[in-house]
Amino acid sequence: MGYVKGWAASAYLFTAGVARPKDRAFIHRIGEHVFGAPEPPELLVPALPIAPIKDIVQGVRVEIADPISVDGNTTTLEQYVFAALVERHRPKTLFEIGTFDGRTTLNLAVSAGPEARLSTLDLPPQQLAETKLDVHPEDVKYIDKKESGARFKGTPQEKQIEQLWGDSATFDFTPYAGTIDLMFIDGSHAYDYVLNDSERAWGMTHPGSVILWHDYANWDDVTRALDHLRRTDARFSSLRRIEGTSLGYMVRQ
Which domains, and CATH codes, for the chain? 2-35 (no CATH), 50-251 (3.40.50.150)
The C-alpha atoms of residue 197 and residue 180 are separated, in whole angstroms, by 14
- The alpha-carbon radius of gyration of the chain (Å, integer) is 21
Residues 211-253 have pLDDT tens digits of 999 999 999 999 999 999 999 999 999 999 999 999 999 999 9
Question: Are the C-beta atoms of residues 241 and 49 closer than 8 Å to each other?
Answer: yes
The C-alpha atoms of residue 225 and residue 231 are separated, in whole angstroms, by 10
Residue 39, pLDDT score: 46
Centroid of chain to Cα 241? 10
Q: Is the pTM of this model over 0.75?
A: yes
The C-alpha atoms of residue 162 and residue 121 are separated, in whole angstroms, by 9
* Burial (CB count within 10 angstroms: exposed 0-12, middle 13-18, buried 19+), residue 8: exposed
- When pLDDT is cut at 50, 70 and 90, the band that residue 40 belongs to is very low
The C-alpha atoms of residue 80 and residue 83 are separated, in whole angstroms, by 5
Determine which helix (DSSP H) or strand (DSSP E) holds 235, and give its type and residue range: none
The C-alpha atoms of residue 37 and residue 19 are separated, in whole angstroms, by 20
The C-alpha atoms of residue 248 and residue 96 are separated, in whole angstroms, by 14
38-to-17, 23, 34, 176 alpha-carbon distances in Å: 20, 16, 11, 49
Side chain identity at residue 61, one-letter code: R
Between 26 and 36, name the one with better pLDDT.
36
Determine which helix (DSSP H) or strand (DSSP E) holds 35, and give its type and residue range: helix 21-35
- When pLDDT is cut at 50, 70 and 90, the band that residue 9 belongs to is low
159-to-75, 76, 204, 247 alpha-carbon distances in Å: 25, 24, 22, 27
- When pLDDT is cut at 50, 70 and 90, the band that residue 7 belongs to is low
- When pLDDT is cut at 50, 70 and 90, the band that residue 154 belongs to is very high
Question: Sheet harboring 205-213: ordered strands across?
Answer: 50-51, 240-242, 248-251, 205-213, 180-185, 93-97, 117-122, 161-165
